[in-house]
A and B are shown apart, each in its own frame.
Chain A
Amino acid sequence: MGQLELVDTLSGHSGRVWDVSWHPSGTLLSSCGEDKTIRLWGREGTRWALKTILTDGHQRTVRESAWSPCGNYLASASFDATTAIWDRKSGQLECIATLEGHENEVKSVSWSRSGQLLATCSRDKSVWVWEVGEDDEYECAAVINAHTQDVKKVSWHPHVDLLASASYDNTIKLFREDPADNDWSCVATLASHESTVWSLSFDRSGSRLVSCSDDKTIKIWKEYLPGNSEGVVTPGNESVWKCVCTLAGYHGRTIYDVCWCHQTDLIATACGDDAIRIFKEATGSDPNEPIFDLVETVHCAHSQDVNSIQWNPTTPGVLASASDDGLVKIWNFKA
């Protein structure tokens, strides 16, 4: 058992806050939402204070923002069908590029580990991979039309250039570039959820991922490499991802976000029932049939739906959340 304590409440957005994203240093947080702004919050002692408001990047809701691994760039995905790239090398964030091409709302954006690739996805059902060139040039490397519905989330693998996407079509798909012809293609479809998959998160090894859904469950998926000792058949010499655990009965409504901490291995969820929950893997649980225990539930963590949850990348136990109630909250989990 543990305890999640509220550290700070950050108000300022008008209307729903859709997303929070930590800077790789863990000392800066970006939030974005319905009011079309991106806000940056910095630590001042034990409190968090507003540092900057970016107002002129988008014409409509900003759905998600993401920091590049080097920490110099911020990408923002908007319902206005564009993705903006912001550069902070000069000290202030300046919009240096606007990526266009999606037919309608951009739902998510993610940087690859190297920072050389960027992925976006949209209600137009496609996933785009962008190559980051020299002189801040962004070139579309692939348009992948593998999903049959609205794509909600894209997330890169923590170590290799493998991209995962989650969709309204209830599936998760994995994409990789074929070195022979530089074509990006779908290498796995993870089917098991019974409704929209809203989000996903890899563990620190990258050999497992957790997904969350409108079906009120979270699922743990494990990679089985070709030649695995468990005897899982791997057609075409491609890894197979199998659902090895389903956590049902814990969430009262749609689960909008999930985050697997790379420092503590704890899983946090953001739910439409206003609660934040934390799960921990049982010690000695079978990797092929793992057991996860609910170690903390904060009911009424926000006064409305919790949309986004993210563990701080440098300080273990620190968590940020965003809600329809217009607030961003900072939490500290003590095991």
Chain B
Amino acid sequence: MEYKISNRLRIGAIILMILGALGVGYGFIDSHKSFEDIETMLSEETHHGEVSEVATVEEAHGASHAEGDHSGGDHVDEHKKHVEHVLHQVHNRPWSALYVAGFFFFMIALGVLAFYAIQHAAQAGWSPVLFRVMEGITSYVLPGGIIVLLIAFFADSHVFIWLTDGITTEGHEKYDALVAGKSGWLNKPGFFIRGIIFLAGWSAYQYFSRKFSLAQDNADINDNSNFKKNFRISAGFLVFFIYTESVMSWDWIMSVDPHWFSTLFGWYVLSGMLVCGITVIAMVTIYLKSKGLLEHVNDSHIHDLGKFMFGFSIFWTYLWFSQFMLIWYSNIPEEVTYFITRIEDYNLPFFGMVALNFIFPLLLLMNSDFKRVNWFVIMTGIVILGGHYLDIFNMIMPATVGDRWFIGIPEISSILFFAGLFIFLVFTSLGKYPLLAKGNPFVKESENFHY
């Protein structure tokens, strides 16, 4: 079946992008505050009954304060430091909002790519009717990845504190021995060289697997050479992917907190990635099916995707909890601060996302019959995507804006912008080729798949 992106969808996507871009621009203008602006803002906040503000300031910055030195000069210095700290957080906010949304949509496409490779390598019999949908979504990997790297490049120290000038120079006022010790890995050229290698590898696989999949459509009935090539590169890609995905999660996410590290972080990011990817496959499939374009997709395919959404949601929770509980239990100061900031300043998003990513899918998708009800899968999918946006939000924001967070215009506009871009690119790409991978040797089985 041929599909062409409808005008309504295209215009809708463009409107989202324009609205988002305007909001992002507003976010940058709004955050452009001077030292004095922040000073007045803080004093107003203190007068508005936040008596504790002064106390926490001195608690936070006054390690030397406690020594009993209450000279006037010291106090002014403390005050200046605090205002500068808040100023940075306010400046960081639009950058972080853009980075979170950009990474979130990129991660969906990358999750789909990994899932797609697994389907090839496992020679799954149920999924070939969905291959074109997956190929369409993965076409966002290259543009989305380039945008994430560009944001990282321009955001610089606004997102990655280890890029602050002088942080590795001994004797500099910003000198940080821990970051300096890690600078063999955490340095700007290294970060971008690695990023480009990852992106090149992923998009090369994306390009070739789609090429072979299309070539298989037009090949002779007895000629499975393209299918075999796809099988081989998928297996190879999965090996490459599991290494690069881990390293990517250290670079692109964990390094926003350069003092903190966690060994299962790569898996944790991967599980979120996969569950989002599968959710989006299900949602796009249901959308196209509702247009009558995927005649071979039946309720059993949706049921299978629903099972994957359910299973990977629980896998995500397992990893989230394993990371949290291990650190909570041993309570070693150098690593527990990560969760202390999140629980104190991000209480609702931090625990709210567990409800959205675990309890909702658990209860909504447990029943076998519900997984076949399309609107039920869409509804759960929206909850899961919202929950995983919050997950990325909770990974980045505490490190960049601290307690100055809010889900306001910069955040929502960034989501709108990337949602528009994602829809535009994915559906344009879906319209380029027939929606059934008819040359795949398993497609007959997939068409007749029932559970």
Tell whether A and B belong to one assembly: no
Q: B residues within 8 Å of A by Cβ?
A: none
Q: A residues within 8 Å of B by Cβ?
A: none
